[in-house]
A = this chain, B = another copy of it.
Amino acid sequence: MKRFVTILLLVFLYANSFGQYQQDSAFIKSLSDEILVNGKAYDWLHFLTKKIGHRLSGSNGFNKAVEWGKQTMLEAGSTNVYLQSCSIPVWVRGKEMLSIASINKKLINKKINALALGNSNGTGNKFVLGDLVAFKNFDEFYANLNKVKGKIVLFNYPFNQTFVETFNAYGDAGKYRRSAASIVAKNGGVAMLTRSLGGGEDNFAHTGTMVYNDSFPKIPAFALGLKDADDLYLKAATQNVKLSLQSGASFKPDTIGYNVIGELVGTQFPNEIITIGGHLDSWDVGEGAHDDGAGCVQTMEVLRSFTKLGYKPKRTIRFVLFANEENGLRGGNKYAEEAKSKGEKHVFALESDAGGFTPRGFGFTTSASTLQKIQQWLPLLTPYGTSYLKAGGGGADIGPLQKLLGTSLAGLQPDSQRYFDYHHTHNDVFENVNKRELHLGAVNMAALIYLVDKYGL
């Protein structure tokens, strides 16, 4: 009885109309059935990961992915597919190697699992030999600055496992990957190594973007597999460890990349634009399956399911595969800049860029009153795995829309436990994506977009 009263109350809050609630509930069920039974996202992801593979900005893989995105967007039902060009950086890894050269002067030549950080400078393919000095964190580093000059510096700051949401551990540890190289260089270090941003049980290295401070030498920077980082940290405490490293990383001249955009034109308010997307580029290792092939195919699955069910949106819905999220965000910036310069009205944007895992909820960047309105829809989404609609969230690619136009944002928040086992590694491959988890994410995205389209914000 109490439960019934609660439901009635929610329905009243929701729309003042039980009929409307039933109608929305039935349509969302039909979206779910269509996606869970006939969904193409998983097959599309198979093609993207296995036939194209990784696709860093400026690579052949990225160019092929743009063509694939265009074709798939048409297959999914967009009658209007176009490419939005933007200048993108071209960072190339080149040949690289990190190994233990000697321990206490005994030559050993043991290879370390490592990846040069994205946007880092190489050694001009030369070998750099140096003594290792290892710190747990910046505090240890600053307490021992006298030991840094001429050394290769390792930060072995661990992923904090006490955070239930692994993105919080990623945020906590991220400063080492992003900014430690220039801090080391400022103090005379010759190369920076960092424990990978992951919490798994394996030894895969996790690459990812870093930024130099232009005031200091741009020294090479690598991320290490967790086991190798722990091992080196222990060894360096008691032994003289000499490392040898080489990196062919460098920037080539910028080139042209593309956001791939599909569209369903609104029938009532064509000038009000809703954006849904993921990013098409990935790092240059693995297959970019979870990051962010998943978001791309989920985006097109929403389009496909709307088309298949004959849903004619009131507002214009743009389905966007963004360029260059990983090492520049040029695609997301271009999308927002062009929207602003054309005077477009962007009412809402949703991104999926946290992996193709089972959905748990959505996070929003919007006003308190808008969030309150959105939260009335929760009972319609809980049957599909969404257990919250909360403040805080969005996506890197849609962030500029919010900054430039004040657009309300949302991010799909799938379960985060496995994400940082795969993120930016050779192991972010199709085999680690589960079909039902991926498709269920698309179900929740489709439902939310449907409700925003129908009721506005």
A-side residues, CB < 8 A to B, are 2, 32-33, 36-37, 42, 161-162, 164, 166, 199-201, 358, 360, 368, 372, 383-385, 387-388, 415, 417-418, 421, 434-437, 440
Determine whether the beta carbon of A36 is less than 8 Å from that of B162.
Answer: yes
When the two chains form the complex, which single residue of B162, B360, B437 contacts A418, counting CB atoms closer than 8 Å? B437
List the B side residues contacting A164 at CB < 8 Å: 32, 36, 383-385, 440
Q: Quick one: given A387-B387, A388-B387, are A436 and B166 in contact (CB under 8 Å)?
A: yes
List the B side residues contacting A421 at CB < 8 Å: 434
Determine whether the beta carbon of A358 is less than 8 Å from that of B32.
Answer: no
A-B residue pairs, 7 tightest by C-beta = A387-B387, A417-B436, A33-B162, A36-B161, A358-B415, A417-B437, A37-B161
List the B side residues contacting A437 at CB < 8 Å: 417-418
A421 to B431, CA, bound (A): 13
List the B side residues contacting A32 at CB < 8 Å: 162, 164
Determine whether the beta carbon of B436 is less than 8 Å from that of A199.
Answer: yes
Determine whether the beta carbon of B434 is less than 8 Å from that of A417.
Answer: yes
List the B side residues contacting A436 at CB < 8 Å: 161, 166, 199, 417-418
List the B side residues contacting A161 at CB < 8 Å: 36-37, 436
A32 to B421, CA, bound (A): 20
Q: How far is the CB of A17 from chain B (nearest CB, A)?
A: 23
Q: Quick one: given A164-B32, A417-B440, A434-B421, are A2 and B37 in contact (CB under 8 Å)?
A: no
Q: How far is the CB of A164 from chain B (nearest CB, A)?
A: 6
A103 to B253, CA, bound (A): 62
List the B side residues contacting A384 at CB < 8 Å: 164
List the B side residues contacting A360 at CB < 8 Å: 387
List the B side residues contacting A200 at CB < 8 Å: 435
Known: A164-B383, A164-B384, A201-B435. 18 other contacts (CB 8 A): A2-B368, A33-B162, A36-B161, A36-B162, A36-B164, A37-B162, A42-B201, A161-B436, A164-B385, A358-B358, A385-B415, A387-B387, A387-B388, A415-B415, A417-B436, A417-B440, A418-B434, A418-B436
**CB-nearest residue of chain B to A421:** B434
List the B side residues contacting A201 at CB < 8 Å: 42, 435
A221 to B336, CA, bound (A): 61
Q: How far is the CB of A330 from chain B (nearest CB, A)?
A: 34
**CB-nearest residue of chain B to A33:** B162
List the B side residues contacting A435 at CB < 8 Å: 200-201
Q: How far is the CB of A374 from chain B (nearest CB, A)?
A: 13
A166 to B2, CA, bound (A): 27
